[in-house]
Amino acid sequence: MNNLSDMKKDQPFKVPENYFENLSDRINERIEQEENPKEKNLIQILKPYMWMAASVLAFVLIAKLILTTAVPTDFQNQPISQIEDSSAVNTENVESDFFFDSMSETSSDEIIEYLSDYDIATDELLANL
């Protein structure tokens, strides 16, 4: 068994020569380097602002995409079957005189010509009158 008394009394580690003589100079050089950091270029300065602008732009584009697809406001281009009754125009309060006044100005020949322009069978309509 090894005893402590049997071990060598020598130091296992050695300090390099002139280490402590140059130590203060090396420390001062490092302090000067830390006090005078390298100047940043324009891209490094603007990078956080570019990321912020890109994130705001992405947010606006996503919001616009969601709102335009979720809320259609143009009923003219939609088929009637897709328009719900609750979103349709309320026609209960419209006076019926308005409709009949505009129809009295139109002759039956004009109506037949209109129907024939759109390939609507006028014979069936006239038979049902």
Domains of the chain, residue spans: 16-70, 93-128
Alpha-carbon distance 104 to 124, whole Å? 22
Alpha-carbon distance 18 to 59, whole Å? 62
Q: Is the pTM of this model over 0.85?
A: no
Which DSSP state fits 82? G
Q: Which amino acid is at 80?
A: I
Angle 40-44-46 from CA coordinates, rounded to 5°: 120
Instruction: Kindly tell me the sign of the dihedral angle through the C-alpha atoms of 85, 88, 90, 91.
Output: negative
Q: What is the pLDDT along the chain (129 residues), one digit of tens a residue?
A: 566 666 667 777 888 888 888 888 889 988 887 776 677 788 888 999 999 999 999 999 999 988 877 655 566 666 666 666 555 556 666 666 666 666 667 777 887 787 778 777 767 766 766
Q: Which H/E stretch holds residue 52?
A: helix 42-70
